[in-house]
Amino acid sequence: MPIETSKETEDAKKAREAKEKKDRDDQDQAAKDKKKGEVTVQNSWTGFIKSLFTYFVLTLIFGLFGSSFIYLTSRGSELDEIFPTDEMFYSAKSYEILKHGPENIVDCKETSTGSFMGMEDNFPYNLIKIKGDASKEDLAKLTLADRLMNWFAKTVAGCFKSNRAILKGFLDNFSPDGPLGNHVFQIYFVMPFTIIVGGFISLITGFFSAFGSAVSADTKVTVWGGFLLYAWGLGFGLALIILMRLLGTIMFFPMSQNWKEVANIMACNVKPLVVLFGFFVCGAAYDKLDPSIAGVMGVVYLALVGWTVFRYFSKQLF
């Protein structure tokens, strides 16, 4: 009996020591968590400011791309020149283009030497050997190299012409005089939709229009190209080019042509961009700051947006 009592006492002592050790570990972990939380609170304003800078740059990019999209939708008949669909453009060996002469620098001032009309090779359309629909007899008269060049040029021409017509038809829906010509609507919704969803669609239309143009240009060369893989390479390559051209046209082409007009469009839509930036600010506040501070910012933001919308519609109605 004394031996068993001693053993029980020793076990109880070990259990008590283990419990005390666990309590100390829990207290140490709680202290670490508290210290970590205090550090997070102290650094939250730094993270908030960094987020503001990031969202400010994002808002500028959003505004530039949206203004570039509006620039295209407000070109009117100029879209026919930006996205040519005339059959003559895709069959001419060369076409006339306005060229600007070099600048002369006199007394540290640049002076224009004027502009003139010049001819440019219409590559790759100048590789077309037979214009229009070609019969088997016409194709048989061509050498193998000429037949391949004719097939290549007509495939590219048909693909580009079809996709330019699709994009032009899409942009025509957002003319300033139409019901979808609202700038805010185009900046907030249409431009992102065109870049994201339209980019995916352009891959599909690019490939299938290239395939259809290839078959129309020369069925025999297309069939052999399917077996030898070069037709697949051209189809997927043109689809990728159509995607890159879409993104370049929407986002960068207007700024390269008339950046002052794009900047003016952006300045006219500064209020919607400020509202967008305010939305980003509220999101950053909820992520980085105390919920009470973020809540106050959210209420102020909604009040300002409501007041702006009220003033806009009151001017339209009265």
3-state secondary structure string, 88-154? HHHCCCEEEEEEECCEEEECCEEEECCEEEEEEECCCHHHCCCCCCCCHHHHHCCCHHHHHHHHHHH
pLDDT tens digits, one per residue of 159-204: 999 999 999 999 999 988 888 999 999 999 999 999 999 999 999 9
Number of domains in the chain: 2
pLDDT tens digits, one per residue of 112-138: 777 777 778 888 998 999 888 888 888
* Domain membership flag for residue 115: yes
* Domain membership flag for residue 122: yes
Backbone angles phi, psi at 94, to 5 degrees: -150, 165
Residue 125 CA to residue 91 CA, distance in Å, equals 6
pLDDT at residue number 106 = 67
Residue 191 CA to residue 66 CA, distance in Å, equals 6
Per-residue pLDDT of the chain (318 residues; tens, 9 = 90+): 455 555 557 666 666 777 777 777 767 666 666 555 544 444 477 888 888 899 999 999 999 999 999 999 999 888 998 999 988 888 888 877 777 777 777 667 677 777 777 778 888 998 999 888 888 888 888 999 999 999 999 999 999 999 999 999 999 999 888 889 999 999 999 999 999 999 999 999 999 999 999 999 999 999 999 999 999 999 999 999 999 999 999 999 999 999 999 999 999 999 899 999 998 988 888 888 777 777 888 888 888 778 777 776 676 555
* Domain membership flag for residue 248: no
Domain end residue (candidates: 68, 102, 127) = 127
Domain end residue (candidates: 107, 127, 147) = 127
Q: Enumerate the β-bridge partners of residue 115.
A: 100
Are 129 and 142 in contact, with CB atoms under 8 Å apart?
Answer: yes
* Domain membership flag for residue 246: no
* Domain membership flag for residue 301: yes
Per DSSP, the three-state class of 50 is helix
Domain end residue (candidates: 127, 151, 183) = 127
* Domain membership flag for residue 298: yes
pLDDT at residue number 202 = 96
For helices 144-172 and 230-251, the axis angle rounded to 10 degrees is 30
Task: Pick the closest to residue 160 from 66, 254, 89 (CA basis).
Answer: 89
Task: Pick the closest to residue 67 from 302, 261, 249, 210 (CA basis).
Answer: 261
pLDDT at residue number 316 = 59
- Per the structure, the complete domain to which residue 119 belongs is given by 92-127
* Domain membership flag for residue 254: no
* Domain membership flag for residue 289: yes
